[in-house]
Amino acid sequence: MKRKFEHPAPSAREQTGPKYWRSLDDLAATPGFKAQLAREFPEGAAQLDGVDRRHFMKIMAASFALGGVGLAGCRRPEANILPFGKSVEGIIPGLPQYYATAMPLRKSAIPLLAETHQGRPTKVEGNPSYAPHGGASSLLAQASVLDLYDPDRATAHTKGGAVLNAAAVNDLLAGISQRFAATGGTGLAFLAEESASPTRARVVKLLRRKFPKAVWAEYEPVTDEPPLAAAQACFGVNVKPLYRFAKAKRILSLDANFLSADSGSLYYAREFAKGRRVTKKDDPMNRLYVVESGLTLTGSMADHRLRLASSHLLAFTAALGGKLLSTEVLKPLTEGLDVNQKWVDECAADLAAHRGECLVVAGNHLPAAVHGIVYAINAFLGNVGQTVDFVGVEPSSAASISDLATALKGGAVKTLVILGGNPAYNAPADLDWAALQKSVAEVIRLGYFADETSILAGTHLSAAHYLESWGDARTADGTIVPVQPMIMPLFGGLTEIEVLARLAGEPTADPYALVFTTITAIAGGEPEKAMRRFLHDGVLAGSAYATNAVAFDQRGARALLREIPKLAALSLKNLEVRFIADHKMDDGRFANNGWLQECPDPITKISWDNAIMVSPKLGKELGIDPKGALLQVARKEENEFSIGKENARVFELAVGGRKIRGPVHIQPGLSNYTVVVPLGYGRTATGHVGKGAGFSAYPLRTSAAMHVATGATLTDTGTRLLLANVQEHWSMEGRDLVREANLDEFKENPAYVSGIGMESHTPSTIGEVGKKMTLAQRSAQIPRGGSLYDNPSLDGHHQWGMSIDLNTCIGCNACVVACQAENNIPIVGKEQVMRGREMHWIRLDRYYSSGTADAGAFGGEGNRELPEDPQVSLQPIACMQCELAPCEIVCPVNATVHDEEGINVMAYNRCIGTRYCANNCPYKVRRFNFFDYNERSLDSLYLGQLGPSGMPELVKMVKNPEVSVRMRGVMEKCTYCIQRIQNGKIQHKVKVAQAGSPGDVVVPDGTIKTACQQVCPVEAIVFGNILDEKSAVSQAKARAHDYSLLGYLNIRPRTTYLGKLRNPNPQMPDYAALPLSRAEYNQKNHPAGHGEHGGARAHEPAPAHGGEPAKKEGHK
Amino acid sequence: MSKIFPPSANKLPLQIIIYLGVLVGLATAGVTYYMTPKYTRVGYAPVQPVPFSHAKHVGEVGLDCRYCHSNVDQSAHSNVPTSQTCMNCHNQIKLTSPLLAPVRESYETGKSVPWVWIHQTPDYAFFNHAIHVNRGVSCVECHGKVNEMDTVTHLQPLSMAFCIECHRDPAARLRDPKDVFNLNSQTLAAQGKAEQAAKFVHDWKVKPPQSCSGCHR
């Protein structure tokens, strides 16, 4: 029987009203945006410019002629096989090897397993031996491999421009050591980065014993650990907090971006997800309150979010502390605080109701007083020892960069050794570091790049990458981890400990020997064995910082509260500037990393640039105002926004006479008068990639106001800058993409997702027969439903599938870069991103919803206000491997087909580049190589055959040999890491064949992991065989809140999503009975208030909803 | 007005059509034959830096394939032996043979002997040795009777058609797992043990991929 669809007739509202909006232009539905939606590829994406047609024909004719003369293609060129002369133990050509190592960053490290192919590291994964991370790693760790093969890295030691060989460097260092030995180091100064390396600490101790009068200073421009002074004052001991988020049922973050900007973020994110994950209706779920000035990833996960200036957070903390601790002492601090008192009271009440299982976390940049009050609150609530442990740490005995600057000014320093860092770029502006450094007679710089600091230094020593170095480090919880080299230093780089040991005049400066001595002394036992174990495991068991049973000392804490400046009201004339470490560039050290530059910021979605972020309210006051009938953001003219190009206005930001210029980006969710400026861009001396990207905010930053500055003003310069903003790309026209519910609704109706979307109106696409089948049967037999066409069945031993939990995804973007590293995905450059040609196989869509976006008002009269406080929903999107894939039926050459195991595969060598498949893909996940991005340099793409061709040898080394490097004119997309699947299956079959049970060909669950799954710190991505009912992915898909994106299209995606949940507190003043996106969904789809079709015409009878809160609109 | 064309010119169009037809036919046949792997690859027997004879080492001395190609049952690549492997024996025999000079030099300097790659699949085809030799596909199927070759010669086209032919009907090509490295052995089918071959396919769940993802990534 022919199936009858009962689509409700679209209302005028439906046709005009997106439910979710990904950018302000999306919400505004400007004509430009609509025109873009209607196109297959963004404008310009499908055009060749820079070369006109005539010129093109000329070039092509010439190359055809050359091809004809040469006839070089008839025989393949002779190739050689080059085996080793002498066998190398353990190396099997064709099989990767894995070694434990770690990526140190400031006082923490990420334990890693590095994958090497014939001695060439190509990819890193988290080390599963380190339990707190569970095998996860971070965005920065994933991208760090690319730095190793950066053609722009410093390749030689130089002195005054002349190259120094290794022996000359050793002589130079020995000379300094001897010269200062007599005077005990008078006139010698060091500036280093922070580090928790036990070996470095030991060598530094030796060095300072030899040169007691030398200055040893450390400097880090950004801070990812709380100030030690606060803990010292409150507890009388040197401790730092380690949070146990998994145990916390109520969490309050005070400007703390603990999910991505803390030294322990990986561990915290993982633990947070444990408390957040809901698998069945009785599962508990934590509740997150966030008070913050910017919009961070942590804020995007909040159940209740309060926008408050960072400089007012002390007052807020005091108000909360006063309420919780029932004390009047903190009252004076709260003067001038302008927040809804009910928010504070109810939040405090909720925390108080969860003694011992709640947690208050303060941002690392906040003053010690805030931390002091927070420690008091946590102690009072009985959280110490439950949700927060305090571990003993070694206080730093290093001088600060300001102390060093004073010494330099006095002219007492004759030789300055700068180890790492980049003070000429990122030192506080009031120190005028460049001039100070130039005033020193001899400056020796150990640096990875010949950067701003090296240019001003007489001698530059090139540093080794951590994948070329012997060393050690400590994770955030203090576990000692090895830094093990994967490859000999490519350019003879030196490690920091080697340089220090030489300066200290140690008899041995071999970094391995130095590490060996340190580790074996700590580990005890038989040295060789202990070291071997340490390197094998990648962690030193039992070496974590010891937990300290701390007692809160009120008197000490009160000392922190002295001399608190009065709270100043913020306004247009007195703005607050918040400096944040960029999510990708960190403090600027990753500026030349193309993977990170191209990865869009998780919230702003801007790539290749930073921006001065202002709130919509401030934007309006600055005159960036919607004009006419349409909302315009950061621009006045209609249609000025086109396709990934954000035509931002350049403003001058001034604080205390210091000025910087940068493009302004209007960012919903910011505190009204807080201006957020990411650091790390605007490098003047770096490689090709980092040069010219963004602006530097360091010139605004003084040692008095490193994190938050007030008294800033913004003035329009009248100029514009185009930003590459991917948020307009690949839009899905606002369907019911992210399905959300509050926890209360979920408890009543775990299958709430089936009441949302087109599927709730249409008959089941799999028919009555299909509904009776199990998931495994459905995946293999592909029920035809009401279709005339009988779908071919899939007969593989496995049927692969994926489940993504939107409830735990924090949007950190680690999957984006992990995929890029695994699958040889090229970068395309800012110019190409602005045309919508980025190549990422997985992307994170970020949707805003305000709950007030009235569909009828879109583009019309009515809603002219830019929402200031939206909820954020994040959704990772990659190829869904549809069982009935629409891309396959349009491919004229069968380049994309289905395999036996349900994967929609791409045969690159067959693809002729018609792009029909991308046109027919409803998810917009296919990517096209418009140029030969791998072979051609990004600044000469338009020169075509006339431009230089060929990949630098160094860059070739980072490519994964298991994956084809695609060329121009080829479509590509996610394949569930087909290389990992094939190799996993082969290795399993070989194993069982050799073990004598060759018939057990089904790979055990969890053996094969996709790159995105492996990196995910919150375990949001689960991948596996859905024929196996016990597999993790089958169990995830069997949950009630599992849904298919655009499921009504009957394309049956193999990737499905678990709905997002929010857990708001009904007592809070900002409580919303429905997630704001649902409110918008209902406003658009059910304006008359007849409710969602949870059970009406849908196939899944939804349980009755009783006791729904009264505030909801148009719901059931 | 006199005639420009003689009457015989009337046949010209037909002649041209026939001629062109033959030409196109020949060209097509030529291209399909001479430019396919069957022609371009089969018979390729380049001169190697050392005239190593498989016939002598395998056929006469009786070395197992895996003595030199030691990782063939573990890795995608069948490794070519290191010079050290050669020197295991040749530090005892033929110590001064000039033919072995490149091997001795390589062993001393650590530099590779530049063996010429014969059985080369395209970069986009990811062939895996381990899975084939562990599951009943003998070396002979692709490389021929190397144990009788003085100079290794490319015997099979190793084209996609060649691969797919076997992937579609694995039973015809399987050997007893014991015979995989015995280059003189016969396939089960050739021994008339078709039933045993079918049982092998069934018990081992032999299901060679016939989709792109089997070889192309």
Per-residue confidence (pLDDT) for residue A67, from 0 to 100: 47
Nearest Cβ partner of A903 from B46, B128, B213?
A: B213
Residue A513 CA to chain centroid, in angstroms?
36
The residue that leads in pLDDT, A646 or A205, is A205
Contact B211 A905 (CB under 8 A): yes
Q: Could you count the other beta carbons within 10 Å of the beta carbon of residue A762?
A: 20
Q: What is the mean pLDDT of residues A726-743?
A: 67
> What's the pTM value of the predicted model, to 2 decimals?
0.86
- Find where tokens 């870069």 sit: A817
A14 has a pLDDT exceeding 60: no
Asked if A439 contacts A72 with a C-beta cutoff of 8 angstroms, the reply is no
Q: What is the mean pLDDT of residues B83-107?
A: 91
Q: From the CA of A963, how many Å to the nearest CA of chain B?
A: 6
Per-residue confidence (pLDDT) for residue A5, from 0 to 100: 47
* Of A37-41, A271-275, A326-330, B82-86, the least confident: A37-41
Contact B117 A81 (CB under 8 A): yes
Where are the alpha helices (H) located in A973-1072, listed in sequence order?
Answer: 978-995, 1011-1015, 1032-1037
Percent of chain A with pLDDT over 90: 54
A277 Cβ contact list (under 8 Å, min separation 6): A283, A285, A805, A807, A808, A1019
A627 has a pLDDT exceeding 90: no
Per-residue confidence (pLDDT) for residue A68, from 0 to 100: 44
- Give A-chain residues touching B212 at CB under 8 angstroms: 897, 899, 905-907, 910
Per-residue confidence (pLDDT) for residue A53, from 0 to 100: 58
Asked if A727 contacts A22 with a C-beta cutoff of 8 angstroms, the reply is yes
Per-residue confidence (pLDDT) for residue A882, from 0 to 100: 92
Chains A and B: how many Cβ contacts under 8 Å?
151
Q: From the CA of A997, how many Å to the nearest CA of chain B?
A: 8
Contact A999 B109 (CB under 8 A): no
Asked if A503 contacts A446 with a C-beta cutoff of 8 angstroms, the reply is no
Nearest Cβ partner of B213 from A797, A982, A990?
A: A982
Q: Is A430 exposed, middle or buried (0-12, 13-18, 19+ CB in 10 A)?
A: middle
Q: From the CA of B53, how many Å to the nearest CA of chain A?
A: 17
A943 has a pLDDT exceeding 90: no
- Give A-chain residues touching B111 at CB under 8 angstroms: 85
* Rounded CA Rg of chain A: 30
User: Is residue B85 less than 8 Å (CB to CB) from chain A?
Assistant: yes
* Of A154-168, A637-651, A707-721, B106-120, the least confident: A637-651
Select from A71, A75, A80, A935 the residue whose CB has the most chain B CBs within 10 Å, as the one to mutate to test that interface. A80
Q: What whole-number distance in Å separates Cα of residue A879 and Cα of residue A973?
A: 7
- Find where tokens 């200055």 sit: A215
Q: Is A922 exposed, middle or buried (0-12, 13-18, 19+ CB in 10 A)?
A: middle
Q: What is the mean pLDDT of residues A637-659?
A: 74
Model confidence band, residue A1111 (pLDDT cutoffs 50, 70, 90): very low
Model confidence band, residue A1115 (pLDDT cutoffs 50, 70, 90): very low
Task: Nearest chain A residue to B78 by CA: give it.
Answer: A93
Nearest Cβ partner of A93 from B46, B79, B114?
A: B79
A239-390: CATH class: alpha beta
A792 backbone φψ class: left, alpha, beta (φ>0; ψ -120 to 50)? beta
- Give B-chain residues touching A901 at CB under 8 angstroms: 213
- Find where tokens 């490690």 sit: A495
At the topology level of CATH, where does A157-223+396-537 sit? Rossmann fold (3.40.50)
- Give B-chain residues touching A95 at CB under 8 angstroms: 71, 74-76
Q: How are beta strands A575-580 and A708-725 bridged, if at all?
A: antiparallel
Residue A15 corresponds to which amino acid?
Answer: Q
For the domain bounded by A575-728, which CATH number is listed?
2.40.40.20
A879 has a pLDDT exceeding 50: yes
Asked if A426 contacts A727 with a C-beta cutoff of 8 angstroms, the reply is no
The predicted-structure confidence for A342-392, as pLDDT tens digits, reads as follows: 999 999 999 999 999 999 999 999 999 999 999 999 999 999 989 999 999
Asked if A835 contacts A931 with a C-beta cutoff of 8 angstroms, the reply is no
Q: What is the mean pLDDT of residues A520-549?
A: 91
- Give B-chain residues touching A897 at CB under 8 angstroms: 211-212
Contact B130 A994 (CB under 8 A): no
Fold match between domain A12-20+738-887+1005-1061 and domain A239-390: no
Could you give phi then psi for residue A1082, rounded to 5 degrees?
-70, -40
Task: Nearest chain B residue to A974 by CA: give it.
Answer: B217
A1 has a pLDDT exceeding 50: no
Asked if A785 contacts A766 with a C-beta cutoff of 8 angstroms, the reply is yes
The predicted-structure confidence for A1038-1055, as pLDDT tens digits, reads as follows: 999 999 998 888 899 999
Residues 36-55 of B with CB under 8 A from A: 40, 46
Q: From the CA of B6, how many Å to the nearest CA of chain A?
A: 39
User: Is residue B33 less than 8 Å (CB to CB) from chain A?
Assistant: no
Which residue in A235, A271, A541, A553 sits closest to A391, CA to CA? A235
Select from A967, A982, A997 the residue whose CB has the most chain B CBs within 10 Å, as the one to mutate to test that interface. A982
A1099 has a pLDDT exceeding 60: no
Per-residue confidence (pLDDT) for residue A112, from 0 to 100: 94
* Token pair listed for A346: 């109810």
Residue A37 corresponds to which amino acid?
Answer: L
Residue A601 per-residue DSSP state: P
User: Is residue B126 less than 8 Å (CB to CB) from chain A?
Assistant: yes
Which residue in A274, A276, A270 sits closest to A258, CA to CA? A270
A44 Cβ contact list (under 8 Å, min separation 6): A643, A835, A836
Contact B213 A905 (CB under 8 A): yes
The predicted-structure confidence for A310-328, as pLDDT tens digits, reads as follows: 999 999 999 999 889 888 8
Tell me how far apart the terminal alpha carbons of chain B are, to the nearest angstrom: 71
Q: What is the mean pLDDT of residues A1054-1073?
A: 92
Contact B216 A909 (CB under 8 A): yes
Select from A71, A75, A87 the residue whose CB has the most chain B CBs within 10 Å, as the one to mutate to test that interface. A87
Per-residue confidence (pLDDT) for residue A859, from 0 to 100: 41
Which residue in A232, A230, A247, A240 sits closest to A263, CA to CA? A240
Nearest Cβ partner of A87 from B82, B117, B217?
A: B82
The interface predicted TM-score (ipTM) is: 0.89
Contact B82 A79 (CB under 8 A): no
Per-residue confidence (pLDDT) for residue A1110, from 0 to 100: 36
Break chain A down into helix, strand, coil percent, rounded to 5.
Answer: 30, 20, 50
Can you give the residue ranges of every domain in chain A?
12-20+738-887+1005-1061, 157-223+396-537, 239-390, 575-728
Contact A899 B213 (CB under 8 A): yes
Residue A923 per-residue DSSP state: T
User: Is residue B216 less than 8 Å (CB to CB) from chain A?
Assistant: yes
Contact B211 A978 (CB under 8 A): no
The residue that leads in pLDDT, A59 or A451, is A451
Per-residue confidence (pLDDT) for residue A549, from 0 to 100: 87
Where are the alpha helices (H) located in A72-124, listed in sequence order?
Answer: none
User: Is residue B121 less than 8 Å (CB to CB) from chain A?
Assistant: no
- Give A-chain residues touching B87 at CB under 8 angstroms: none
CA A492 → CA A153, A162, A462, B134, distances in Å? 12, 16, 8, 43
Task: Nearest chain B residue to A977 by CA: give it.
Answer: B217
Nearest Cβ partner of B112 from A75, A82, A909?
A: A82
Per-residue confidence (pLDDT) for residue A1095, from 0 to 100: 38
Nearest Cβ partner of A85 from B40, B83, B124?
A: B83
The predicted-structure confidence for A828-858, as pLDDT tens digits, reads as follows: 999 899 888 999 999 998 888 887 655 444 4
Query: Please, what is the average pLDDT of chain A?
Result: 84
Q: What is the mean pLDDT of residues A247-270?
A: 93
Could you give phi then psi for residue A578, rounded to 5 degrees?
-115, 120
Task: Nearest chain B residue to A992 by CA: give it.
Answer: B134
Per-residue confidence (pLDDT) for residue A1082, from 0 to 100: 79
**Cα angle, residue A573 at apex, residues A568 and A579 outer, rounded to 5°:** 70
Nearest Cβ partner of A993 from B114, B134, B209?
A: B134
Beta bridge partners of A189: A215, A416
CA A215 → CA A422, A446, A496, distances in Å? 18, 17, 17
Per-residue confidence (pLDDT) for residue A88, from 0 to 100: 86
Identify the CATH assignment for A12-20+738-887+1005-1061 out of 3.30.70.20, 3.40.50.300, 1.10.340.30, 3.40.50.150.
Answer: 3.30.70.20
Residues 168-207 of B with CB under 8 A from A: 177, 203-205, 207
The predicted-structure confidence for A1085-1094, as pLDDT tens digits, reads as follows: 776 554 444 4
A932 has a pLDDT exceeding 80: yes
Model confidence band, residue A780 (pLDDT cutoffs 50, 70, 90): confident
A328 Cβ contact list (under 8 Å, min separation 6): A322
The predicted-structure confidence for A63-112, as pLDDT tens digits, reads as follows: 555 544 444 445 567 889 999 888 888 888 889 999 999 999 999 999 99
Nearest Cβ partner of B114 from A74, A80, A909?
A: A80
Contact A964 B128 (CB under 8 A): no
